[in-house]
Amino acid sequence: MRPVSGFERPALQWLFIGLGLILILVAAGEGAALLRARAELATLRAADLNARTEIDKLSAEAARERAAREAFSLQLARQRGAAAPVTQPTLTLSPLMKRGAQPPEATVARPPDHQSIQFRLLLPGRTEPQAAGYTIVIRTWSGGDTVWSRSGLTMTTVDNKRMVAAFITGDVFTPGAYEVALTRTVTGSSPADVASYEVAIRP
């Protein structure tokens, strides 16, 4: 192999050695930065997982407290009923043909926070009666955030109308629009959509 002309000069050799050292230092710095970035990413992922776990715990605790309030309100209403007739407020919704492009008009007055309400969802006419567990999920109309849910419900008939009903308290509904999803689970199968509903609460 022919030697490269001029490379035998010491100055040129030292220049190449210096460039090599610089490249090594740059590569080492990039490697260290990459390791730090990975460590920070792992820390952020762990923090996000912890935050999600804490949110799930708080949501579960809030759901338990709300269920306890609902049961207490229902029992209180029954106890009052032993002394005097008590009218149980109801909120009945009909299934939608399709979801509208705009939120529904606010037609329902906001109930008191501790008011026990029988929440009724009328079943579509095509729904056949069968032994199934129903789940109701109430979400905000715009954001889709779940504000209340209840599972293990069964179909009932009131005034010859088939429906799924659950007791809720007034604090579920703050002023605004909501969408309600009703699903059904038959043993050994995945949940199936039954119908959707909408309601809007006045201030």
- Please state, in angstroms and as integers, the Cα–Cα distance from residue 6 to each residue in 9, 11, 37, 139, 156, following that order: 6, 10, 43, 78, 97
How many other C-beta atoms are found inside a 10 Å radius of the C-beta of residue 126?
A: 8
Q: Are 122 and 148 in contact (CB under 8 A)?
A: no
Tokens 């006045």 belong to residue: 202
* pLDDT tens per residue across span 32-49: 888 888 888 888 888 888
Q: How confident is the model at residue 84 (pLDDT cuts 50, 70, 90)?
A: very low
CATH of domain 90-201: 2.60.40
pTM metric for this prediction = 0.59
